[in-house]
Amino acid sequence: MNCSEARRLPALLGAVLRELRRAGNTSAAPPGPGSGADGSLYILLIMIFYGCLAGALILAYTRSRKMESKHDPYHLYIERDWGPGGPAQAAEEGGPAEGQR
């Protein structure tokens, strides 16, 4: 359709407006019973999956921190040798250390 003529332009714009109104009325209709159910189910499953993944990662991290604090040889060394009554404190008091006996 050629829009160069002044009479045809209002007819073309009126036809476009009628088409837009008709398309707007059909899109405003309520969705059917199965139109959005699949999308929301998919989103729900993905959210559950990532929630379980985040929970497992948090649980694994906290367990690893507990294991590290109980069984780490470095921490045991610090507690045994540099804690109260260890060789460092005995050397400060002037007594013999364990390695010097």
Q: How many CB atoms lie within 10 A of CB 97?
A: 13
- The yes-or-no verdict on residue 47 having pLDDT over 80 is yes
pLDDT mean over 8-33? 76
**Is 0.85 topped by the overall pTM?**
no
Give percent of the chain with pLDDT exceeding 70: 58
Chain center to CA of 45: 15
- 78 — pLDDT class (breaks 50, 70, 90): confident
Exposure on the CB side of residue 49, measured as CA atoms within 13 A: 6
